[in-house]
Amino acid sequence: MKKLTIGAAIVSAVLAVGCGDDSAKDAGVAETKPAQTDQAQMNNNDGAKDSKDSASTGGNPFFEQWDTPFGMPPFDKIKDEHYGPAFEKAIAEARAEMDAIANNPEAPTFENTIEAMEYSGKLLTKVSSVFFNLTSANTNPKLQEIQKDVGPKLSAFRDDISLNPKLFERVEAVYQQRNELGLREDQMRLLEDNYKSFVRGGAKLNEEQKQQLRDFNKEMTELALAFSENVLAETNNWEMVIDNEEDLAGLPQGLIDAAADTAKKRGHEGKWVFTTHRPSKTPFLMYSEKPELRAKMYHGYTHRGDNDNANDNKEIAAKLAKLRAKKAQLLGYNTHADFVLEERTAKNAENVYELLNQVWPAALEQAKAERALMQEQIEKEGKDFKLKASDWRYYAAKVRNEKYALDEEAVKPYFSLESTLQGVFYTANRLFGMNFKERFDLPKYHDDVRTFEVTDNDGELIGIFLTDHYVRDGKRGGAWMNSYRKQFVTEDGEFVKPIIVNVLNYPRPVGDEPTLLTFDQASTLFHEFGHAAHGLLSDGVYPSQTGTSVPRDFVEFPSQVLENWMLEPEVLAQFAKHYKTGEVIPQELIDKIQAASKFNQGFATTEYMAAALLDMAWHTLDGKELKDANAFEKATLDKLGLIPEIAPRYRTTYFNHIFSSASGGYSAGYYSYIWSEIFAADAYQAFRENGIFDKETAKKYKKYILSSGGTQDPIELYKKFRGKEADPKYLMISRGLIEADESK
């Protein structure tokens, strides 16, 4: 659902990528030393003008014009205690602006109503963009307390806008005369989206219903925040301490060193500590020769939020699902999924299930075939037990190594974090003419952060790109892209350049060794930069339409399509170099990587699909009863026929995508990844047909997909790029679920 502009300023988008070194000038990467002058200075146009009472606020940075390079947030000056007063003042200012629009004595026009709303709330945008980025990437107990306090206030404020009858009356008046106003296409879409947002926000409800909606929204905000905090606490608190060196059998030395470092930091010096953070959990399950320890790790990861303790999420998730259904019905929809999907390219649950049910049987069949291969491997080793879920990654690695002679540990030296970023930058330069200079003088919120000035081939500033790569306790799991400032054009016609951040959770370097990435981790770096490019190359007018402001089931498309370039020999030759010798990755190893790229896709697709179908099951409920979360999940998965050796990628109690956002996040939308992949696979086919760096294809892709954002209908934009609708067959081929000749 597209929010009203004020709402969009509040809600932090989730996505991710990048980093770099000075070794690949041909990749468009260079360094700028601290003393070097800025090519461009930009004021923070999202910020409020200097307030007359700023002196009385104790020099709160949010009440001042930021004179930092490029209008970057002055992170070193912003303290936790500044957020409370800043939010209080920002909400008050935004409320006053909205009241002024609602009570304007002049007849409603596009300019004095729709555009006025679009450009209101500058201080709220300024505060929110910093605060919600940091509560995801670098939180602490104080910020969490502020979030608990401000969340309900922001929810109430959003409701005050959506349910303001005078404001809706003006919006509706402009909407009724929309065809006589001579609006541009983006203006018409802005008007229509605002009108629909009011209606979907409850503007046509009676007073009793409006109060009920407010109560629903307030409770859902509190529940979503609690869910998120519980997952973070469960992830941070769980640890497996090993004090017997024999229990490290099979583990790569880099993982052992990282575990020793973690142990030291957690007060277990001389021992080894493994956690459920992905950089620790995944390789442990892949390489540990101790099945009982693999089982312990697997249980710890898959039971987060399901331990009947203070951080338990079972009842919270069930309550959220019920409240969402009740809210949808209050607004005239049968289910939460019906409410959500109306605004997506999928349009309805039937279309979602049609795709998922088309892919599910093939994926499950492939997963069963993979299970049989691993059971054969167990028996070949003379062991007598049935494969368990905690064994899957261990035996998958063995089978892959034997089948393709591809050892993940042999691949990692060619994918250092630094060199892989060079591959990302090289690809961005070849496709879109983007050049990257690392800056050492720009403000940053943590020492891990790196900053890059991004320019085009004429030296014109595109935007600022921040990267934050390493796992730490104050950062939520996963990988994402967000913006500290979106691209837009001000009321005065000034083109504001974006400030984009990518956040990941890679293992931190140990000693003098660099961070070495698995193939999947390297692919994630490309994936997340696809999101960043979507934000950086934006070229629109209104902030609620620019960058990644597209339907949820379209937003993953630009990130997914960029992953394809990483496997191209021409790109690999540019960056996949051994971190010690500088040797370019051998063609033989490239061939093995490509041959193995579709291995274990039955597992990968099935665990993802199980989560997507679980999400849909929760959000097609009628809300008449509060479900027992574990019983409901089990019944859903049993009905699907999910094999016991595979769990959903996310079980209910740690499914942050769908339960940690007050606005709904990916609820009734986790299918979006595979839906977007239809566009991604079909789009890359265009590059295959014309050349992977074909200038005309890249130009059209940039113009219609990356730069246009939400200014037009995404399906129409895609057809302008491709000349036709996306063909799902390329998705099935890319996942190895059908052969190319089967699709003819």
pLDDT of residue 388: 98
Please check the confidence at residue 10 and state whether its pLDDT lies above 50: no
Residue written as token pair 């003042």? 89
The pLDDT value given to residue 23: 32
In the annotation, is 645 catalytic?
no
Residue 57 has pLDDT above 50, yes or no: yes
pLDDT, one tens digit per residue, over 629-677 is 999 999 999 999 999 999 999 999 999 999 998 889 999 999 999 999 9
C-alpha separations of 577 from 24, 411, 567, 574, 589 in Å: 11, 10, 14, 8, 12
Q: Please give the model's pTM, rounded to 2 decimal places.
A: 0.85
User: pLDDT tens digit string along 158-171?
Assistant: 999 999 999 999 99
Catalytic residue, chosen from 370, 418, 528, 645, is: 528
* 192 closest CA partner among 579, 545, 440, 702: 545
Token reading at 646:
């595979």
Return the pLDDT at 597. 81
Q: How far apart are CA 671 and CA 681, in angstroms?
A: 16
Ramachandran sector of residue 493 (left: φ over 0; alpha: ψ -120 to 50; beta: rest): left
Half-sphere exposure (Cβ direction) of 113: Cα atoms closer than 13 Å: 26
Q: Average the pLDDT over 334-347 and give the result.
A: 96
pLDDT score for 741: 61
Percentage, residues of the chain above pLDDT 90: 84
- CA-CA-CA-CA dihedral for 299, 282, 361, 594, to nearest 10: -170
Q: Which domains does the chain have, with CATH numbers?
A: 5-11+46-222 (1.10.1370.40)
Count the neighbouring beta carbons within 10 Å of the beta carbon of residue 410.
12
Task: Give mean pLDDT, residues 20-24.
Answer: 30
How does strand 461-470 pair with strand 450-455? antiparallel
509 band by pLDDT with thresholds 50, 70 and 90: very high
- State residue 44's pLDDT score: 45
Of 514, 560, 550, the closest CA to residue 416 belongs to 514
Mean pLDDT of 332-349: 96
Cα separation, 473 vs 713, in Å, equals: 40
Which pLDDT tens digit goes with each residue over 385-398?
A: 999 999 999 999 99
Tell me, what's the pLDDT at 19?
Answer: 30
The reported pLDDT for the residue numbered 737 is 72
pLDDT in tens, 431-450: 999 999 999 999 999 999 99
pLDDT tens readout for residues 270-300: 999 999 999 999 999 999 999 999 999 999 9
Distance between CA atoms of 137 and 472, rounded to whole angstroms?
9
Which SS3 state, helix, strand or coil, does residue 455 take?
Answer: strand
What is the H or E stretch that residue 380 is in? helix 349-380
Is the dihedral angle over the CA atoms 657, 660, 661, 664 positive or is it negative?
Answer: positive
- Per-residue pLDDT, averaged over 362-380, amounts to 95
For the chain, the average pLDDT equals 91
Closest CA to 733 of 641, 597, 531, 559: 597
Count other C-beta atoms under 10 Å from residue 115's C-beta.
18
For residue 390, what are its two tokens? Answer: 């905690």
